[in-house]
Amino acid sequence: MKQYFLKLYQYNAWSNQRVVSAIKRQSVTDEKILSVLGHIVAAQYLWLHRIKGLPPAQVKLWGEYTLEQLEEMAAYIGKEWIDFVERTDDFNRELVYKNYTNDPYINNVEQIMIHLVNHSSYHRGQIAMLLRQKGFEPINTDYITYDRVLRGQLKD
């Protein structure tokens, strides 16, 4: 599982960086687009803090962030997730936690980690749609594109 999660979280960090770069390059200031990107990044903070047993992350799940803040946050949390995966040998454990509305849950860490990347992909798809609706060009963040870039078949 470790190699799988390493690939998955490297892809996730790459995808977030591509979205940030595309938004920055096109000078996108749309609040909804930035809000969805903020939601992706904040969720990654919140889940990592829960899994690591840290105090709740000081981020808002649907907060208002500037593009500069999002760029910094995405880079940081992407690296933190990769570091966590590299330093962890067993992801198959139950996590008891409370969600952002204080409801108690128990989930397996492996399932949470799979969920988080799927959650991020889902919302990156929303960002792509919003960008196109607003007259901007979305960026491809498909996993196969990431793999092709890694293999040198495409330029990043």
Assess if residue 72 is contained within a domain: yes
- Any domain includes 95: yes
**136 is a domain residue:** yes
Q: What is the CATH number of the domain that holds 28?
A: 1.20.120.450
Q: Is the four-CA dihedral 21, 26, 27, 28 of positive or negative sign?
A: negative
Q: What is the pLDDT of residue 10?
A: 98
Query: Average pLDDT for residues 17-21, to the nearest whole number?
Result: 98
**Counted domains in the chain:** 1
Domain-embedded: residue 89: yes
Helix (H, G, I), strand (E, B) or coil at 106: strand
In a domain? residue 152:
no
Each residue's pLDDT tens digit, 50-106 = 999 999 999 999 999 999 999 999 999 999 999 999 999 999 999 999 998 899 999
pLDDT tier, 156 (very low <50, low <70, confident <90, very high otherwise): confident
Q: pLDDT by residue (tens digit) across 97-147? A: 999 889 999 999 999 999 999 999 999 999 999 999 999 999 999 999 999
Residue 153 lies in a domain: no
Q: Which of 10, 78, 3 is nearest to 40 (CA)?
A: 78
How far is the C-alpha of 113 from the C-alpha of 119, rounded, in Å?
A: 10
Domain carrying residue 27: 2-147
pLDDT at 128: 98
- The residue among 104, 97, 105, 124 whose CA lies nearest residue 17 is 124
* Model confidence, pTM: 0.95
| Percent of the chain scoring above 90 in pLDDT | 96
- The whole-number pLDDT of residue 64 equals 95
Q: Is 24 within a domain?
A: yes
Beta-bridge mates of residue 105? 97
| Residue range 39-53: mean pLDDT, rounded | 98
Q: Kindly state whether residue 56 falls inside one of the protein's structural domains.
A: yes
pLDDT band at 45 (very low <50, low <70, confident <90, very high): very high
3-state secondary structure of 117: helix
| DSSP designation for 136 | P
CA distance 111 to 119: 12
Cβ neighbours of 117 (radius 10 Å): 18
Task: Specify the pLDDT at position 52.
Answer: 97
Closest CA to 74 of 128, 13, 1: 13
* Dihedral, 75, 34, 150, 108 alpha carbons, nearest 10: 70
Task: Give the dihedral sign, CA 98/99/105/108.
Answer: negative
| H-state helical runs in 26-108 | 31-52, 67-87
pLDDT value of position 110: 98
